[in-house]
Structure 1
Amino acid sequence: MAASAKTIRFIRLPAVLARVGLSRTQIYKMIGDGQFPAQVRLSARTVAWLEDQVVDWMNQRLVDAC
């Protein structure tokens, strides 16, 4: 793998909650409204988020606040 290749990392809900400071209910409401990145199904009972998408969402919130 090249040194410039981007690593894809999945993060689970507790990590998403800790990073963004929103409640589980608010996260899912925002997903439904198209205002937060949707989760990715990893298995029948497991979902996660792409870390880059969550970080991009956080960065966009900072830009929008300025």
Structure 2
Amino acid sequence: MSDRFLSPKTTSEMVSLPARSIRRMVAQGKFPKSFPVGQKRVAYLESQVVAWMNERLKAAGLEPSIRILSPEKETLDQGLTAPEPVQVESSDANVKYVNSRRKSGV
């Protein structure tokens, strides 16, 4: 499985928690830690976030079945490759998240 970096905003949308709550949970050791990817940017590892989501399902008595799907790459008109969307599904919890934000080439 290839791991991707998730922005705090994407992570917040993925787990349905405000970024502030995520930061508080990180400080308490209850959520995966972010790491610096630039001077003013941090990211979360997708695999760690998905593992946390599965742990939450298991704690709720549900089958931990969230997995990372392999998205297909899309090509923009300028020949650039668009960022791959994050896709996570859970059949047991009836959860589906798809980040469909796209950046266009300049």
Q: Please report the TM-score for the alignment, with normalisation by the length of structure 1.
A: 0.88
Q: Say what the alpha-carbon RMSD is for the aligned residues.
A: 0.7
Q: How many pairs does the alignment contain?
A: 61
Larger radius of gyration: 2
Instruction: Find the aligned partners of 1:53 and 1:35 in 2 and give their Cα distance.
Output: 12
Equivalent of 1:20 in 2, 5, 15 = 15
| 1:32 to 2:27 alignment | yes
Runs ≥4 in structure 1, deviation > 2 angstroms?
Answer: none
Could you list the runs of 5+ residues in structure 2 that have no partner in the other structure?
62-106
Aligned pairs (5 A) from 1:1-66: 6-66=1-61
Structure 1 residue identity aligned to 2:60: A
Could you list the runs of 5+ residues in structure 1 that have no partner in the other structure?
1-5
Instruction: Find the aligned partners of 1:58 and 1:8 in 2 and give their Cα distance.
Output: 16
Identity over aligned residues, as a percent? 36
Q: 1 or 2 for the larger relative contact order (CA 8 Å, sep ≥6)? A: 1
